Amino acid sequence: MPSTNDPILKYDPATWPLWFVMLSYEAKTRDVWEDTDPDAPGSNEIIKPVLLTPNDMLVKRRDEISKEYQERCAIWEALPEATRGDKPSRAADPTYYEIIELTGAQNEQFVWLLRAWDSGVTRRGEVTEWIYKTVESKLMGLALIKMEADGLISNGNRGLVQTLRALVAPGTQGVTPKEHAEAILPEMYRKLGLDVPSDDTST
């Protein structure tokens, strides 16, 4: 197997299958393949857990009580009038002591979620580092420009792998990196609102 000190993925489509197998191994052993797989559904945005303050918890609990009340009223209104009975009453807002108890109870769960989030960020970062080490530098540069133009920057490793696959896997056999870049860069620059660079060096 090639050393990861040398680029494995190049403009040659023949380099894609081996690189992709190696990538899946790196991601799966770190339990982050779901966030790397270019064909996985949904968003892979990494959301950091937030510790709620007592005031945040009060607002959250009031919203939950209001939602529960609205749902019960909707069910009541849907019943035949003869069988409705009394209209549901809204539960009282939580007391100060209940809010303190709820706020304290979240701490243990928050610590666990934060550790899991931090571990996930570290493991995703290790896969990102592996990708950068194993992709030809000019190809990586082009991929990063295309990612930004296509709005995939926030998709992390998954967006990067999707972009690399679009650049390398299909239909690039026999095309030089310069030819490939010249073919797709103008459209990407236009998407970004930038002037297309000129190769005209005449004076």
* Together in a domain, 128 and 38: yes
Residue 29 lies in a domain: yes
Q: What is the per-residue pLDDT for 36?
A: 92
Environment class of 147 (CB within 10 Å of its CB; exposed 0-12, middle 13-18, buried 19+): buried
At 202, list the tokens. 């005449």
Of the given ranges (123-127, 140-144, 184-188), which has the lowest mean pLDDT? 184-188
* Together in a domain, 91 and 124: no
Report how far residue 37's alpha carbon sits from residue 32's, in angstroms, rounded to the nearest whole number. Answer: 9
pLDDT at residue 4 tops 60: no
Q: In terms of pLDDT, which residue wins out, 30 or 142?
A: 30
Over residues 48-59, the mean pLDDT reads: 82
Q: What is the per-residue pLDDT for 134?
A: 94
Residue 115 lies in a domain: no
Residue 181 contacts residue 189 (beta carbons within 8 Å):
no
Nearest in space to 102 (alpha carbons), one of 62, 70, 67, 72: 62
What does the mean pLDDT of the chain come to?
81
What is the DSSP annotation of 115-147?
HHHHHHHHHHHHHHHHHHHHB-HHHHHHHHHHH
Q: In terms of pLDDT, which residue wins out, 180 or 58?
A: 58
Residue 8 pLDDT class (50, 70, 90 cuts): confident
Residues 6+ apart with CB under 8 A from 153: 147, 159
* Together in a domain, 39 and 136: yes
For the CA atoms of the chain, what is the radius of gyration? 26
* Together in a domain, 76 and 22: no
* Together in a domain, 125 and 176: yes
CB atoms within 10 A of CB 146: 22
pLDDT, one tens digit per residue, over 70-105 is 999 999 999 998 888 889 899 998 888 888 888 777
Q: In terms of pLDDT, which residue wins out, 49 or 22?
A: 22
Of the given ranges (47-51, 112-116, 123-127), which has the lowest mean pLDDT? 47-51
Residue 201 pLDDT class (50, 70, 90 cuts): very low
* Total domains in the fold of the chain: 2
pLDDT at residue 135 tops 90: yes
- Global pTM value: 0.60
Residue 1 pLDDT class (50, 70, 90 cuts): very low
* Together in a domain, 95 and 179: no
pLDDT, one tens digit per residue, over 142-186 is 888 888 888 877 788 998 998 898 888 755 555 555 566 666 667
Environment class of 11 (CB within 10 Å of its CB; exposed 0-12, middle 13-18, buried 19+): buried
Over residues 47-51, the mean pLDDT reads: 76
* Together in a domain, 29 and 85: no
- Tell me which residue range forms the domain holding 77: 54-109
Report how far residue 165's alpha carbon sits from residue 128's, in angstroms, rounded to the nearest whole number. Answer: 15
* Together in a domain, 36 and 124: yes
